[in-house]
Chains A and B, each alone.
Chain A
Amino acid sequence: MPRPLLTLLIALAAAAALSAYSDHFDAYYLDVAMGIGINLILAVSLNLVNGHTGQFSLGHAGFMSVGAYLSAALTMWLGPTLLQGSDSAFWPQHYLFFAALLTGGLSAALAGLLVGLPSLRLKGDYLAIVTLGFGEIIRVIFQNCEPLGGALGLNGIPAYTSVFWVLSFGALTIFTVHCLVHSTYGLGFIATKDDEIAAEAIGLNVTRYKITAFVVGAFFAGIAGGLYAHFKQTISPGGFDFNRSIEIVVMVILGGMGNTVGVILAAILLTLLPEVLRPVAEFRMIIYSFLLIVLMLVRPQGLFNFSRLPSKS
């Protein structure tokens, strides 16, 4: 069995085992762990776009919100009718949640395709601004969508997200991104990042690589959104704004672009940081932003990137 697949299976088994004993852990730690897992999925999937493929996207929160809203709508509207009449709600509930997450992920992927097709013709700063713009547009659309709660958002979403779901999807995300990038096909992503013109010259369909990365990234962002919605139990358009996207981008940059292990560590660190800084809550965000600037000045290649210094592009 190939090593990545084995690692995935071990991770899934560990997630199942952990969730079986989850009652023995403090609820606070479980909450933090789930927060970490969701951020990890977001960061690793964005890393495929920003890090491996080199396309700077600032709209990840938009795709996350698509997944969050659609999966929440599914469990809230279809859930009661589907779960009715079954004696034990355990299995149907899990099937429903899984289906809702997949729907969320697929619709986010579709949104990614729709956004990616026109905008990936652009490069660098322009692409960043257009993805930012699309993220804002998605937010405003949800704000105006009355069936989805408008500006107030959705409340009372069932709390289906458990440690098992978060950890297994986290493992699945890492597995998919790892395998995609380390396959023969995946070399195209790296080539697109390193030199788009050269990649085109040797016959690679650069646009297709960019869109693939974008759609896969959006899919997992949608999954993370679904997990987030069924974890917080309440979502509103304001929670998926520009700052949320920035938060994810910061994880990718701090981890070192294109460095999966680094990004995972950064996601863990940056989720824990606000928790650690809770005693000084007043200064929390000041310290956070100050650290961000200092880190960029002192370690521009990313906190956990030990491989090579970035070259000026």
Chain B
Amino acid sequence: MIEFFQQLLNGLSLGAIFALIALGYTMVYGVLRFINFAHSDVFMVGAYAGYYLGRFIPEHTIWGGLAALAVAMTVCAILGVIIERLAYRPLRSAPTLNVLITAIGVSLLLQNLGQFLFGATPRPFPELFPVTLFIFHGIYISSNQLVVIGVTLALLFALRFIVLRTKIGTAMRAVSQNPKAASLVGINNDLVISFTFALGSALAAAGGMLYALNYPSIDPLMGVLPGLKAFVAAVLGGIGNIPGAALGGLLLGVVETFVNGSKNWSTYKDAIAFALLILMLLFRPAGLLGSFTKEKV
């Protein structure tokens, strides 16, 4: 039983990171209807931003860690806006496929620029937050796991507030429902899309830093697999649906951790996300919380 709760906790802290990345995918899909493949590499840039900031701030302090997190999120928000402005905006009226390929191109570009600038060898990630290990009824809880879960919860509530309670959040929802109608009522679609990219990329940066804290080595290709899985999480929850992405992320994190901890199936942990995805799409294509829309002629 103790092992079950231990795995559940590990799964939740991994799932929290998936959820943060998945939110970026789902928001961009909501407003632009395409898979932003470069998102997983923004996640990587977020981790590297944390790595370089770690040199300037004292290690093992909560405020230092949070400051690094905030700066990394800002850096990636700006990066996300730049990517959107230069690579995706010119293709606003092109077929989805072309945008998809451009996104893949941006993803490859970031990976290879990363390998060139940061070096291809994995690097140890600094311990930005104070590290202690709590033991609660036999369950090992590392302070980093608490940081991951705490930061994720805070960001989720902040996101919920922005999307539901602010003017720009309302505009975001309007654009995702119907871009043409949104611009008819005076919403500046381009601005909303830029804002969505900034928001999503900031969350990805937070995810990247938190991921690096728990899996303490980073490399320029680190984003690929978590990125794909986070996208799977977004689809599991119902793509375009913000609570769905958080739910899908947590679910995927927990399932993957349990598979990883099982005796015979641990080597299949990278496949389980896709197997879940396929099952979900076959039986409930709209995802857990999504609503199904029938295509009309």
Contacts and interface: CB of A to CB of B under 8 A. Distances in A.
B94 A141 contact: no
Contacts of B228: 132, 136, 242
A56 interface: yes
Contact of B87 (A124, A297, A311): A297
B182 interface: no
A13 to B, nearest CB: 37
B190 interface: no
A162 interface: no
A282 B116 contact: yes
A281 B231 CA distance: 32
Given A125-B34, A282-B116, 9 more contacts: A128-B35, A130-B281, A133-B274, A133-B278, A136-B228, A136-B270, A143-B267, A289-B112, A290-B109
B105 A296 contact: yes
Nearest to B296: A197
Contacts of B106: 289, 293
A293 B271 contact: no
Interface in A121-154: 121-122, 124-126, 128-130, 132-134, 136-137, 140-141, 143-144
B224 interface: yes
Given A134-B274, A285-B112, A286-B113, A140 B102 contact: no
Given A129-B232, A140-B270, A283 B116 contact: yes
Contact of B101 (A136, A197, A250): A250
Contacts of B112: 285-286, 288-289
Interface residues of A, number: 44
Contact of A119 (B100, B104, B278): B278
A124 B109 CA distance: 24
B109 A289 contact: yes
Q: Lowest 3 A-B CB distances belong to which pairs?
A: A133-B274, A289-B108, A292-B105
A312 interface: yes
Nearest to A118: B282
Interface string A293-310: 100110010000000001
B93 interface: yes
Given A124-B96, A288-B108, A292-B108, A137 B274 contact: yes
Secondary structure call for the B interface: helix
Contacts of A184: none
B235 A126 contact: yes
A286 B97 contact: no
B156 to A, nearest CB: 24
A249 interface: yes
Contacts of B100: 56, 125, 128
B90 A297 contact: yes
Nearest to B113: A286
B98 interface: yes
A313 interface: yes
- For B33, B100, B105, B106, the residue with the greatest tally of chain A CB atoms inside 10 Å of its CB is B105
Contacts of A242: 224, 228
A141 B235 CA distance: 23
Interface in B140-160: none
B101 A296 contact: yes
Interface string A138-176: 001101100000000000000000000000000000000
A246 interface: yes
